[in-house]
Amino acid sequence: MKPKNIAVLMGGISTEREVSLRSGNAVAKALTEAGFNVSCIDVKDEKIEELDHMEIDVAFIALHGYFGEDGGVQELLESKGIPYTGSGINASKLAMDKLATKKCFVEAGLTTPDYITVTEFQEFTEIQLEINKLGLPVVLKPTRNGSSIGISIIKDIKNLQTGLEKAFEFGYELLIEKYIKGRELTLGILDDKALPIIEIKTAVEFYNYDAKYKDNRTEYLIVKTTSGNDKNTVEDFLNNTGYLSPSLYNEAQELALNAHKVLGCRGFSRVDMLLDNIGKFYLLEVNTIPGFTEKSLLPKAAKAAGMSFSSLCKKIAELAFQNSLVTTDASIQN
């Protein structure tokens, strides 16, 4: 059996609404090209009552941020008995919460930058003291936001107050990480397999919102490996943008897949990491619903593996439907 009727959920009520609309429209077009009956739903509340009057085999979630990646819409869809794409409720909650994600990485022994957490209820002097212990530079991140919204790098303590005010606009709790200077890599996971690695090369200091969606200077390089042995890995590969030694390439893919599994993700995800100048990888986060336009990173990785955007969307929808059949069979047996 295969799904026929797919509802694409897009828009949403988070700060990433416009990005989600672009993702959703691209997915709807791709699924239509793949031969599915596609309905588009612009989500504007947490009830989505349109779903109650439709015959749906799979809901394709193209929502980002709040009530998209945080388990909320997943919980609603499960209450309505509608199969959906991507990770389940618990994995979505974990991945959306950067602090919970970090704790999972640390408990599993996966390398991630050192960090602290602070809240807006703490005195500025107390926060400053904690950051001094961690050591500058640091990265300020709202714990529950996507698309790099509210993130800033603090290299001078005099800029801390401004950075805190910016980040606290998106939540009362912040994750403060030790800044790691290195190459930015992202790896797509599809059906428990790591896709080709993409390196992100920005014209600005880090991959922020503008670099993602506005700056045409941002480059996305499909990382290649070179033949030969690895005895000169550090000297030959670490600063060679767009290339990795075979051993480093395999290590990155294994780390990404482990991160996906540690959080309990299913179907697909995108894992972001850094590679420092001595050959050490640092996990940053796992995106359970990454961007879904043809220019987005997961589709770029799939394309590098020989899969068209339409085929990727079709595969994701079919994985969701197959998972629902397995779940149904298990419940019947029990």
CATH number at residue 320: 3.40.50.20
Considering the domain architecture, whether residues 188 and 272 belong to the same structural domain is answered as yes
Considering the domain architecture, whether residues 102 and 192 belong to the same structural domain is answered as yes
Q: Answer whether residue 329 shows pLDDT above 50.
A: no
Rg (CA), the chain: 20
Residue pLDDT, tens place only, 271-308: 999 999 899 999 999 999 999 987 799 999 999 999 99
Let me know: does 112 contact 105? Beta carbons within 8 Å.
yes
Considering the domain architecture, whether residues 266 and 212 belong to the same structural domain is answered as yes
Give catalytic residues, as residue numbers: 16, 147, 213, 270, 272, 285, 287, 291
The secondary element (H helix, E strand) that includes residue 154 is strand 152-154
* Buried/exposed 87-107: b ≥16 CB within 10 Å, e otherwise: bbbebbbbbbbbbebbebbee
Considering the domain architecture, whether residues 105 and 200 belong to the same structural domain is answered as yes
In a domain, 73, yes or no: yes
d(CA 23, CA 19): 6
Provide the domain limits for residue 275.
Answer: 95-109+181-288
Residues linked to residue 141 through DSSP beta bridges, in sequence order: 175
For the chain, what's the residue count?
Answer: 334
Pairing assessment for the beta strands 219-222 and 193-201 based on DSSP bridges: antiparallel
Count up the domains in the chain and report the number.
3
Residues linked to residue 139 through DSSP beta bridges, in sequence order: 153, 177
Residue pLDDT, tens place only, 111-170: 999 999 999 999 999 999 999 999 999 999 988 765 467 789 999 999 999 999 989 998
Let me know: does 64 contact 298? Beta carbons within 8 Å.
no
Question: Among the listed ranges 162-171, 236-245, 253-262, 274-283, which one has the minimum average pLDDT value?
Answer: 236-245
Nearest Cα residue to 187 out of 263, 274, 317? 274
Nearest Cα residue to 147 out of 19, 319, 299? 19
Residue pLDDT, tens place only, 84-104: 999 999 999 999 999 999 999
Considering the domain architecture, whether residues 168 and 186 belong to the same structural domain is answered as no
